[in-house]
Amino acid sequence: MTFEEYLISKKIDGAAFQTAEPALWQEWSNLFNQLSPASFTAQKLYLINPIRRKYQLKVEVTETPKPLVAAKPVMKPKPKMN
């Protein structure tokens, strides 16, 4: 997994992060290449969320139309005759 793939998995826009804070991006990239993704996440756990909020990855949401389901007929019980 590359650092860019990691940022996408964490919903961080890597390009915006790199242009806005190149020193921090380079530091994190070098550290990520030395560690496993789980270790990197453990070390930067409380720093990832503010970065994610600043550089949110734009995800296009495509709504799939739900097929129309025909209403089921209502079956009323017959009245009981004694």
pLDDT digit string, tens, across residues 17-44: 999 999 999 999 999 999 999 999 999 9
Q: Does residue 82 lie in a domain region?
A: no
The residue range of the domain holding 10 is 3-54
Q: Report the C-alpha gap between 9 and 3 in whole angstroms.
A: 10
58 touches 8 (CB < 8 A) = no
Q: Does residue 77 lie in a domain region?
A: no
Q: Does residue 81 lie in a domain region?
A: no
Q: Does residue 59 lie in a domain region?
A: no
What confidence score (pLDDT) does residue 61 get?
66
Number of structural domains, the chain?
Answer: 1
Q: Does residue 60 lie in a domain region?
A: no
Note the pLDDT tens digit of each residue in 40-56: 999 999 999 999 999 99
Give the pLDDT band of residue 66 (cuts 50, 70, 90): confident
Give the contacts of 20 (CB within 8 A, at least 6 positions apart). 54, 55
Q: Does residue 36 lie in a domain region?
A: yes
Q: Does residue 75 lie in a domain region?
A: no
Q: Does residue 44 lie in a domain region?
A: yes
